[in-house]
Structure 1
Amino acid sequence: MNWTAFRAQAPELATLADEWIADAHVLLLGTLRADGSPRISAVECDVSGDDLCIGMIWQSTKALDLERDPRLTVHSLPPGRENTRGDLKLYGRARALEAPEKRAYEAVMQARLDWAPSEPYHAFAVDVTSAGLVVFEGGGQSVLSWRAGNPVRRRVRDNIA
């Protein structure tokens, strides 16, 4: 589902993700290499229209991964050991942006950075299928999880070793 639909189904998680994106714009992207092994890359993300978008250098290995296998994970890139905001993860599939969506994405980048990518480049929207947030506090953890079509689930686990 696109970012707007994700916001409607899981507003608490989407709000946290929106804050992360607005604050940092840089998240970690997990893709699958041709041999099935994982690849992780730092990427810039922005919300454009109804989509969470990621732009990539033309023919970059991560872009080629997504063209071959659109499954992906996006991670919040924790700021350090004390990570009080927790670990936010989004799971889903990449969808290549077409010309009108790419122009809108370029306008968002131009407004934020006073720079926009020029063709050729790859741009993908993240269609979210599930999400989670884990926050460690007081020797335990608080977990929010969501899967498309289900409500957000909250769990608290104490005394995590």
Structure 2
Amino acid sequence: MATWREFEHATPELAAAVRARFEATKHHVLATIRRDGAPRVSGTEVEFTDKDLKFGSMADAVKVRDLQRDGRCALHANPGDGSMDGGDGKVSGVAVEIPVREGNSFRLDIREAVHTTVDGDELVIRWWTPNNGLREIRRK
């Protein structure tokens, strides 16, 4: 797993594209794992610090209980107007709780980051993992 900073150092261009998607709008989608193993999707906001990608929640929200039980999660950037002009950004990994006075806050230990765009008539998927580095596929 990697911090946001480690991801940025490993592949600055991809990190900038993913970050731009998250900074383009305020609200994003968080996917967590329910007690029964089914997925749960909830809204959240993200914040970038020098080292980490962080997100939070009101205290005792069900998504918080999900993350406290099983930290595996994914964040999907809000696509905004639905166009693919800026691409589509996603990150997944393990949420680590950060002590705060009110609500709940987490930082993401990144296992994978993905940026998807359209180039002419091709779908371009670029993704990075700490173990395998940067990869790309193109599909017509």
TM above 0.5, yes or no, is yes
Residue in structure 2 matching 1:124, options 88, 92, 106: 106
CA distance in 1, matches of 2:3, 2:14: 14
1:127-160 deviation line (CA, Å, top 9, x unaligned): 10111122134442011011113221122112xx
2:58 matched residue in structure 1? 57
Maintained 8 Å contact 1:143/1:155: yes
**Residue 25 of structure 1: aligned partner:** 26
Task: Quote the Cα distance in structure 2 between the aligned partners of 1:136 and 1:48.
Answer: 29
User: Which runs of 5 or more residues in structure 1 are unaligned?
Assistant: 103-118
1:97 is matched with which residue? 98
Which amino acid letter does the alignment assign opposite residue 46 of structure 1? E
Residue aligned with 1:13, SS: helix
CA contact (8 A) 2:21 2:87 kept: no
Kindly provide the amino acid, as one letter, of the partner of residue 126 in structure 1: L
- Report if aligned partners of 1:25, 1:46 keep a CA contact under 8 Å in 2: no
Higher strand share: 2
For residues 82-161 of structure 1, the aligned pairs below 5 Å read 82-98=83-99, 102=100, 119-158=101-140
Local SS of the residue matching 1:30: strand
3-state secondary structure, aligned to 1:144: strand
Q: State the aligned residue count.
A: 139
What displacement does 1:95 show? 0.4
Q: Superposition pairs for residues 41-52 of structure 1, below 5 Å?
A: 41-52=42-53
Alpha-carbon displacement from aligned partner over 1:103-133 (angstroms, at most 9, x marks no partner) = xxxxxxxxxxxxxxxx331000011011112
CA distance in 2, matches of 1:82, 1:51: 28
Cα shift at 1:2: 1.1
Structure 2: distance between partners of 1:77 and 1:23: 8
Counterparts of 1:120 and 1:46, CA distance in 2: 16
Q: Give me the CA root mean square deviation.
A: 1.6
Larger Rg over CA atoms: 1
Higher helix share: 1
